[in-house]
Chain A
Amino acid sequence: MTRSLIRLVLLLCAALLTLTSCGGSSKATQHTPLTVVVNAPFSRSPYLGRTIENGARLAAGEVSANGIRIGDKTYDLRVTTMDTALSPARAVANMRRAVGEHAVAVVDEGTGIDASWRIANSAGIPIGVVFEGGSQIVDPVARPNVFRIAPTDHGIAFRLAEYLVPKGLKLALLHDDSDYGAAGEQALTLAFSQNRSSVAIDEALPSDALDLGPQVLRARRAHATGLLVWGRPATIAAALTAARSSDWNVPVFTPPTGSDPFVRQQLADHPGWVDGLTFASGRLTAEVGTGPFLTFEQKYESSFGVDRVGVKSSGRAVIVPPESAMYAYDFVNLIAAALLKAGSTDPAKVTAALNEVTTEGANGDQRAFNRHNHEGVVDDDIYFARFHGMIYVPVKDDPLSATLPTLPQTR
């Protein structure tokens, strides 16, 4: 009896010891959350919104696996999404909410940034724009909290001019009346200001028009030998439809929106119409080859699945490489590096530290900002790719593009 009592007491002691040690361990690994807000058009441009969110979540998950150690605390990054619905007013309201929720950073598509940056700046919160490329968005002096990892309109326009002018084309510069199209018009006007002889006509397109036949016809009558269409994906699809349905096989050039799945989805019944469409965008691979980007893509797909375009190429399903996701991923990683560099979670200190850190981007390139430049994609990194059979291949008649490998785009 006494022996069994002793045994019982010992067992109870062991159980208590285990329980207390369990409690201690959970306290030691407890992470404090830091909020990263993704402000993107989830309802109006779902693919774009989702891919930005996924990129941010992927990076946040990786960072949080080990946590960010600052002082005697370990922090996690938690992602919260807010829908702008492409409305500047909603984007501004979202930014107020982000400040109210003490966000440490905001990953932003770019809508409404001209108003929302002040709200974030008053709280010292850094904003990473990962889609819109308007030149007014980023200004390290006037807007010290705004950073961007996406090709700039300025860079795209100048690279397009550099690529197209020597070809001797007479270009119709078509842009839609969205914010994106208007910013593109400004950039194109500047880029072609020294080569006006290469421009046949400048034309504004209504972004909600289903038929752009009259505008494209005007371009044809102006003897244009190339169309440079700067607009949302729907505008590009409509311009292609107008040209090809009138048997005008004119070469068409676009900014990165030309590679948006929406264009191919709209023209799925006429895959030949997409052939030859050439777009400019930020390179997805680095000098080291496709390795880093494919690794990132694998991680992305295993977490969120494959983004299918909904069309086929040579009988196989075409997928979308996670480009905007890559930019959001890189920005969140820079935020993590800046938190460590700052040694503080004070957003203002994190903003200052963003000027001093470098990380390796998802594509193997270095991602960095500095005090003079808050652009994470340099103009030199803009390349050109051309569609054939619903997938695109880097062109061979441009020095940078010629060095780039083709990414697998079918499954």
Chain B
Amino acid sequence: MKQLVLAVAAGLVVAASAHAAPPAHYASLPSPFAPLSPSPPLGGGATSTSEGFRHHIAAKTSVDVSLDRDGSPFAVHATQRLDVRVLGDYFFTIGAPLLDVEAAPGSESTPGLRAASILWAGFNPGHRVLIARSTLDPAAAAPSLPLRVEVTPGRVTLVNTTGVTVGSYTADALVSPLVQYLAQLRRQVAHGQTPTSGGAYVTSKPTATGLRVLVPLRIRGTIGPRKVDALVEGDRLTLRADGAVRLTVTPAVPERLLDGTTAGLSGRRLLERAARAALTLARMRQYQTYLGNPDPTGPNETTYVYRSAARPLPPPVAAVVTSKRDWATTIAVAAGLLLATAAALVVWSRS
């Protein structure tokens, strides 16, 4: 009897609380996959002309950026390795602002050069490695680099240029699904899987808002004698340093967003964090894919190497010998000669 009373009481409490809770509506969270800007990947990304099947491709790219004295990039080279699986024909175009392209050592085929793309065509007997070393137009390629280096005497500023402001929304939301979604993102990233989209159960009217998203950058290397090992999660990092820059930059997982504690956070705060995490992963994926991968779900990895270098000198201009005389002088001389001739004729005719 006592148990029955307790059960009924508990049921009444649940019913009452359910009645009190506002209705929750499902709302999609931003995609952790869709690019937030047209570039990167450069040149609209990659395409694969499919003949009824899809190649599985792992892409690994190394971007070499040559820096001027003040840190301005004046040359950009990208070496992309495509590890292509699945037997069959392939025809890939990798968009890029190209000046030139060649096969790199170890490539099992030779890339083709077009005005705005690298071309790969052939037959894959089951596994084929395609490696292209591209010389990119620095003016077109530099704006899509993740880092800008500003060198002033005694000081080097590393500017994270991955930032972008995108549209999102804010609302009150149920906590549990958001906690689960963040855990799901964390698991997928840890296992190297492509993160999947999720949703929230909002309990108030969503309000449009803008979110500034920035990819954390892991920066290692040296500036002159000084060693650098930093995670730049903000807009910039200024270091007291002088000398040649040699830095390796990789887009890093936003661990603070994925791994930070969720305990005690309101649904609204969690919603903002989940949206930010998804958007940051989408942005990170963009910078991991500086050159496109013909397999849209294939893994991508890009390492950016910044080095101080001497800007190649322009070829010497051939010395052009120019006459110092101008038209006025020429006309005056001609007129003088004519007058002299006329005078000579007059003198001769009277002699």
Contact = CB atoms under 8 A, between A and B. Distances in A.
A403 B87 CA distance: 9
Contact of A370 (B53, B109, B112): B112
A348 to B, nearest CB: 16
Contacts of B121: 366, 368, 378
Interface in A350-378: 355-356, 358, 364-366, 368-373, 378
B125 A356 contact: no
Given A286-B89, A287-B52, A380 B123 contact: yes
A287 B89 contact: yes
Nearest to A283: B123
Contacts, number: 59
Nearest to B118: A370
A83 interface: no
A365 B50 CA distance: 10
Contact of B109 (A288, A364, A369, A380): A380
B88 A355 contact: no
Contacts of A370: 112-114, 119
B20 interface: no
A400 B125 CA distance: 7
Contacts of B123: 378, 380-381, 400
Q: Which one of A355, A366, A370, A400 has the greatest number of beta carbons of chain B within 10 Å? A: A370
B115 interface: yes
B66 to A, nearest CB: 24
B174 to A, nearest CB: 48
B50 to A, nearest CB: 9
A373 B109 CA distance: 12
B49 interface: yes
A24 interface: no
Given A370-B112, A370-B119, A399 B52 contact: no
A371 B114 CA distance: 6
B191 to A, nearest CB: 31
B52 A403 contact: no
Given A356-B115, A372-B101, A366 B91 contact: yes
Interface string B38-63: 00000000000101110000000000
A399 B87 contact: yes
A365 B111 CA distance: 18
B110 interface: yes
B109 A286 contact: no
Contact of B51 (A286, A355, A369, A380): A286
Contacts of A368: 91, 112, 119, 121
Contacts of A399: 87, 125-126
Given A371-B114, A403-B88, A287 B53 contact: yes
Contacts of A380: 109, 122-123
Interface in A367-411: 368-373, 378-381, 399-400, 403
Interface residues of B, number: 22
A410 to B, nearest CB: 27
A380 to B, nearest CB: 4
A355 B121 CA distance: 14
Contacts of A371: 112-115
Q: Which one of A286, A358, A372, A381 has the greatest number of beta carbons of chain B within 10 Å? A: A372
B52 A288 contact: yes
Nearest to A352: B115
Interface string B104-148: 000001111111000101110110000000000000000000000
Contacts of B49: 358, 366
Contacts of B115: 355-356, 371
Contacts of B52: 287-288
Interface string B49-92: 10111000000000000000000000000000000000111010
Interface in B13-57: 49, 51-53
A372 B53 CA distance: 28
B126 to A, nearest CB: 7
Contacts of A358: 49, 91
Nearest to B126: A399
B87 A373 contact: no
A33 B306 CA distance: 55
A362 to B, nearest CB: 14
B51 A372 contact: no
Given A378-B121, A399-B87, A400-B123, A364 B113 contact: no
Contacts of B112: 368-373
A287 B114 contact: no
A288 B89 CA distance: 10
Given A355-B114, A372-B110, A287 B88 contact: yes
B51 A288 contact: yes
B114 A356 contact: yes
A365 B114 contact: no
A400 B124 CA distance: 8
A343 B87 CA distance: 38
Interface in A284-333: 286-288
A364 B49 CA distance: 11
Nearest to B119: A370
B113 to A, nearest CB: 4
A199 to B, nearest CB: 25
A399 to B, nearest CB: 4
A210 to B, nearest CB: 39
B205 to A, nearest CB: 50
Contacts of A356: 114-115
Contacts of A366: 49, 91, 121
Contacts of A365: 51, 89, 91
A380 B109 CA distance: 9
A371 B98 CA distance: 12
A288 B109 CA distance: 23
Contacts of B111: 372
A372 B98 CA distance: 13
Given A286-B51, A364-B51, A399-B125, 13 more contacts: A358-B91, A365-B89, A365-B91, A366-B121, A370-B114, A371-B112, A373-B110, A378-B122, A378-B123, A380-B123, A381-B89, A381-B122, A399-B87
Interface of B: 49, 51-53, 87-89, 91, 101, 109-115, 119, 121-123, 125-126
7 contacts: A371-B113, A373-B110, A378-B123, A379-B122, A400-B123, A403-B87, A403-B88
Of all A-B residue pairs in the complex, the 5 with the closest CB atoms, nearest first, are A370-B112, A287-B51, A380-B123, A380-B122, A399-B125
